[in-house]
């Protein structure tokens, strides 16, 4: 299964090396890695080019949805499967193998779990995150940092739209409307930055900064 791995990045010089090292450990011979350096003013693109086999395209969208779409467009039509992660994330060694295993079982879309780097969280955030996440059960939340899908399904749904945030949940919603088989999985969990301020107005950083703690406090009250 020819797999295209797309990684959008915006000023991620501090973290993209760690990301690409983890991706390299998960690669199989028929994988292709595309980093989309979007409006970067640091060394993100240069660091990515230092990894053998990684293809880098530089764009100036300032928009994560457009960046993901550009990475997919660049890598097609030479792919059957798209795997998506983020430049501030670390994938497990079984990441690609696990997506392929689930695809062979009939999945059109795989929604994987993510875990923040706990050292990046304060005590309240760590307690709130632990209270809301069962390690034995995939929660079905959509994260661009751990997402996979068939190319045919992606094209049928219209692909990533140029949204400043939540482009991943938007696409999965359209895939569901088209009847795609969506599987929630936690068998290849991705670790992602626990920073409180990310590269988009909302996203996972906002969830950790406010949404997570606020919702947990309401549930406890």
- Within a domain: residue 124? no
pLDDT tens for each residue of 56-93: 999 999 999 999 999 999 999 999 999 999 999 999 99
**How many whole angstroms from its chain centre is CA 102?**
17
Looking at the predicted structure, is the pLDDT value of residue 221 above 50? no
Question: Can you name the residues that pair with 182 across neighbouring β-strands?
Answer: 109
Residue 10 lies in a domain: yes
pLDDT of residue 219: 37
Range of the domain at 82: 3-118+137-196
Per-residue pLDDT tens digits for 17-48: 999 999 999 999 999 999 999 999 999 999 99
Kindly state whether residue 201 falls inside one of the protein's structural domains: no
Q: Is residue 50 part of a domain?
A: yes
Asked, for residue 215, whether it belongs to a domain, the answer is no
Buried b (16+ CB within 10 A) or exposed e, 176-185: eeeebbbbbb
In a domain, 28, yes or no: yes
Number of domains, the chain: 1
Domain annotation covers residue 107: yes
What lies within 8 Å, CB to CB, of 195 at 6+ separation is 88, 120, 205, 208
**Which CATH number is 96's domain given?**
3.90.550.10
Look at residue 211 and tell me if it is in a domain.
no
Q: Helix-strand-coil percent breakdown of the chain, rounded to 5?
A: 40, 25, 40
Q: What is the pLDDT of residues 84-108, one digit of tens each?
A: 999 999 999 999 999 999 999 999 9
């Amino acid at each position: 299964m020819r797999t295209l791995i797309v990684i959008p990045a915006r000023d991620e010089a501090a973290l993209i090396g760690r990301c690409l090292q983890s991706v390299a450990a998960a690669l199989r011979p028929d994988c292709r890695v595309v980093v989309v350096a979007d409006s970067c003013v640091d060394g993100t693109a240069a660091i990515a080019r230092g990894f053998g086999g990684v293809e880098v395209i530089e764009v100036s969208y300032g928009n994560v949805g457009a960046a993901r779409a550009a990475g997919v467009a660049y890598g097609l039509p030479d792919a059957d499967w798209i795997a998506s992660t983020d430049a501030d994330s670390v994938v497990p060694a079984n990441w690609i193998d696990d997506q392929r295993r689930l695809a062979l079982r009939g999945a059109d879309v795989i929604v994987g779990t993510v875990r923040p780097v706990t050292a990046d969280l304060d005590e309240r955030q760590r307690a709130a995150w632990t209270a809301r996440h069962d390690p034995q059960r995939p929660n079905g939340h959509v994260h661009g940092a751990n997402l996979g899908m068939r190319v045919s399904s992606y094209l049928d749904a219209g692909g990533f739209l140029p949204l400043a945030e939540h482009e991943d949940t938007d696409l999965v919603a359209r895939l569901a409307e088209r009847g795609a088989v969506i599987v929630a999985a936690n068998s290849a969990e991705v670790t992602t930055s626990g920073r409180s301020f990310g590269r988009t107005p909302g996203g996972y950083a906002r969830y950790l900064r406010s949404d997570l703690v606020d919702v947990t406090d309401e549930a406890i009250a």
